[in-house]
Chain A
């Protein structure tokens, strides 16, 4: 029942925003909203590995960019079927290509997920720090590969010309916005399902004490690989529609440090233990950044994110959700009667009084 309300609620909020932006007739709202939604997906994805398992991934930008560039490669393939396929295959290829955005998202997810699995398999058997370092280096190396890969434009970048209109929906940006909206609901739903399942409890044991978990028979390596794959795949899915959004993709923008730092800062500031944290953090930071980019400058807004990240990990390690949680604990009565505070806490999965 709670799940039903959750899906209904998130769809209603999304639909309300969509209708509101449509009513205002302002396309900028869609552009800004798309970015915020994209960060919700990235932050939620990061949190599946970082928050639930306690393994830090600094390579969010790499997974994101892999999703973007698989779209670019397939788009280019689709635009020039006759050039890249032998005549016998061209007929079949034309039936499939060019792919539509939802299919590209799935493909981007698969490719990024595989890269996550590979990196995880090589480094997750060691101490946590090694995985973090490897993901950091992964971003640099994938960027080197893309810069040297002429097919997707190399360091010059690649143009993607998107259609202006989509049937039934209207402007293309509104279509992308809707896709991202669905994707972010999917990402949060995945995080929520994981949290409430055996998998989630397994992840939590890894985060709390990996050695003890291993000794109790929790298959830690397998669970960690599952987490890395899901997390990487979601990041790739967030990246796949990006070339269509931005129109011109070059390596330094796709691999920008902003993605890496945001997808860490958002869950850290929101709170890492439940799906609410990344959502709150992404909404808050995403909106602050949209406002700051317009009013101040984009370098300054990155500085704000960095300072907030450092400040929050020092002062409020449990994030905004942790702060709210502590407040809600005050709402749980000893006789078990429910107050609005504890009801809200249960709904938001914060388990009042638990400790």
Chain B
């Protein structure tokens, strides 16, 4: 029983982190309909930047990620521009766009392997090996800090998307580009902003990842199944849906890992994804 409760709490904390990993996909795939399967590779890139700065200057990894935000934003804007000019404009985004992002994923991974090798890397920070205890409940700070910050980030994004003009334009661009143009907003520019934001979240999610576990370049691949499972289950474009789905997956994975062993955890996400696609493609909160 205690084991179960601990597993559920660990799952909730893990889910909070998964929400941060997925939010980028929810924006790019859910809202903009750009199947950015390279997202996990950018997350790993974020992890490595946090790692380098942490090793050389001793700066806190999450703080590094916040400082690196503009760089990731610029990278995202650049990628969108290439994607738009070469695929979206010509109307061949389906097949070749996917191949493009797959190529990006692959190139990023191989470059990281060439530079850093396949050793596991980790960071140092004051909170990483501390644990809060309430009775029999363990709250390791290395899980709690990313979870809380990630929920904060999602709340901010949700506010931005629902309250500001640009945010609302981003939500609108997926529905009707023509109408958006009539509202004096350039759909391409709006999409660029949104995609750049989605890549920027990868910087933060990457720093969370390296706080939670040691990282090597191919870790990102495990997250592809997870992020898309969460994104689809969460109903594609809803951020609250993403959080709920992330928590759910976190709990199921954590219970599986506790009772059947951690080597089965990747299979859980896939099972989740297949079942969702087969029975509830509109997601949990979908109509």
Q: Are A314 and B82 in contact (CB under 8 A)?
A: yes
Q: Are A126 and B277 in contact (CB under 8 A)?
A: yes
Q: How far is the CA of A25 from the CA of B264 in the complex (A)?
A: 47
Q: How far is the CA of A130 from the CA of B37 in the complex (A)?
A: 11
Q: How large is the interface on A (under 10, 10 to 19, 20 to 34, 35 or more residues)?
A: 35 or more
Tell me, yes or no, whether A182 is within 8 Å of chain B by CB: no
Q: How far is the CA of A313 from the CA of B270 in the complex (A)?
A: 29
Total cross-chain contacts (CB, 8 A): 123
Q: Are A140 and B277 in contact (CB under 8 A)?
A: no
Contacts of A309 in B (CB 8 A): 99, 102-103, 106
Q: Are B114 and A303 in contact (CB under 8 A)?
A: yes
Contacts of A299 in B (CB 8 A): 110, 113-114
Tell me, yes or no, whether B139 is within 8 Å of chain A by CB: no
Q: Are A144 and B266 in contact (CB under 8 A)?
A: yes
Tell me, yes or no, whether B184 is within 8 Å of chain A by CB: no
Q: Are A313 and B103 in contact (CB under 8 A)?
A: yes
Q: Are B221 and A257 in contact (CB under 8 A)?
A: yes
Tell me, yes or no, whether A50 is within 8 Å of chain B by CB: yes
Tell me, yes or no, whether B107 is within 8 Å of chain A by CB: yes
Contacts of B109 in A (CB 8 A): 257
Shortest A55–chain B CB gap in Å is: 8
Q: How far is the CA of A305 from the CA of B92 in the complex (A)?
A: 22
Q: How far is the CA of A129 from the CA of B111 in the complex (A)?
A: 26
Tell me, yes or no, whether B274 is within 8 Å of chain A by CB: yes
Tell me, yes or no, whether A307 is within 8 Å of chain B by CB: yes
Say whether, besides A50-B95, A134-B273, A314 and B107 are in contact (CB < 8 Å). no
Contacts of B180 in A (CB 8 A): none
A residues 138-180 near B (Cβ < 8 Å) are 138, 140-141, 143-145, 147-148
Tell me, yes or no, whether A288 is within 8 Å of chain B by CB: no
Shortest B112–chain A CB gap in Å is: 11
Tell me, yes or no, whether A317 is within 8 Å of chain B by CB: yes
Tell me, yes or no, whether A240 is within 8 Å of chain B by CB: no
Tell me, yes or no, whether B232 is within 8 Å of chain A by CB: yes
Q: Are A264 and B264 in contact (CB under 8 A)?
A: no
Q: How far is the CA of A314 from the CA of B225 in the complex (A)?
A: 26
Contacts of B266 in A (CB 8 A): 140-141, 143-144
Residue of A nearest to B118 (CB): A299
Mark each residue of chain B from 202 to 222: 1 if its CB lies under 8 Å from any CB of chain A, else 0. 000000000000000010011
Contacts of B240 in A (CB 8 A): none
Tell me, yes or no, whether A58 is within 8 Å of chain B by CB: yes
Instruction: Give the number of residues in B that approach A within 8 Å (Cβ atoms).
Output: 44
Q: Are A314 and B224 in contact (CB under 8 A)?
A: no
Say whether, besides A137-B229, A137-B269, A140-B270, A56 and B103 are in contact (CB < 8 Å). no
Tell me, yes or no, whether A218 is within 8 Å of chain B by CB: no
Q: Are A141 and B281 in contact (CB under 8 A)?
A: no
Contacts of B159 in A (CB 8 A): none
Tell me, yes or no, whether B228 is within 8 Å of chain A by CB: yes
Tell me, yes or no, whether A247 is within 8 Å of chain B by CB: no
Q: How far is the CA of A149 from the CA of B37 in the complex (A)?
A: 29
Contacts of A123 in B (CB 8 A): 274, 277-278
Contacts of A313 in B (CB 8 A): 86-87, 96, 99-100, 103
Contacts of B110 in A (CB 8 A): 299, 302-303, 306
Tell me, yes or no, whether A122 is within 8 Å of chain B by CB: yes
Contacts of A211 in B (CB 8 A): none
Shortest B95–chain A CB gap in Å is: 5
Mark each residue of chain A from 313 to 327: 1 if its CB lies under 8 Å from any CB of chain B, else 0. 110010000000000
Shortest A154–chain B CB gap in Å is: 9
Tell me, yes or no, whether A268 is within 8 Å of chain B by CB: yes
Q: Are A314 and B86 in contact (CB under 8 A)?
A: yes
Q: Interface of chain B, helix or strand or loop or mixed?
A: helix
Tell me, yes or no, whether A54 is within 8 Å of chain B by CB: yes
Q: How far is the CA of A50 from the CA of B98 in the complex (A)?
A: 11
Q: How far is the CA of A265 from the CA of B100 in the complex (A)?
A: 10
Q: Are A306 and B113 in contact (CB under 8 A)?
A: no
Q: Are A261 and B277 in contact (CB under 8 A)?
A: no
Shortest B235–chain A CB gap in Å is: 14
Say whether, besides A133-B273, A313-B103, A56 and B95 are in contact (CB < 8 Å). yes
B residues 15-31 near A (Cβ < 8 Å) are 29
Shortest A305–chain B CB gap in Å is: 8
B residues 97-148 near A (Cβ < 8 Å) are 98-100, 102-104, 106-107, 109-111, 113-114
Contacts of B99 in A (CB 8 A): 56, 264, 268, 309, 313
Tell me, yes or no, whether A213 is within 8 Å of chain B by CB: no
Contacts of B35 in A (CB 8 A): 129, 132-133
The listed residue (A144, A147, A257, A268) touching B106 by CB distance below 8 A is A257
Contacts of A99 in B (CB 8 A): none
Q: Are B281 and A130 in contact (CB under 8 A)?
A: yes
Contacts of A140 in B (CB 8 A): 221-222, 224-225, 266, 269-270
Known: A141-B271, A307-B107, A309-B103. 14 other contacts (CB 8 A): A122-B274, A123-B277, A129-B94, A137-B228, A137-B273, A137-B274, A140-B225, A140-B266, A140-B270, A144-B267, A264-B99, A309-B102, A313-B99, A314-B82
20 interchain pairs (CB within 8 A)?
A56-B99, A56-B102, A133-B37, A133-B224, A136-B228, A137-B273, A137-B274, A140-B222, A140-B270, A144-B264, A261-B106, A268-B96, A300-B114, A303-B110, A305-B106, A307-B107, A309-B102, A310-B100, A317-B90, A317-B96
The 6 closest A-B pairs by CB, nearest first: A137-B225, A310-B103, A141-B270, A306-B107, A309-B103, A306-B106
A residues bordering B, Cβ < 8 Å? 50, 54, 56, 58, 122-123, 126, 128-130, 132-134, 136-138, 140-141, 143-145, 147-148, 257, 261, 264-265, 268, 272, 299-300, 302-303, 305-307, 309-310, 313-314, 317
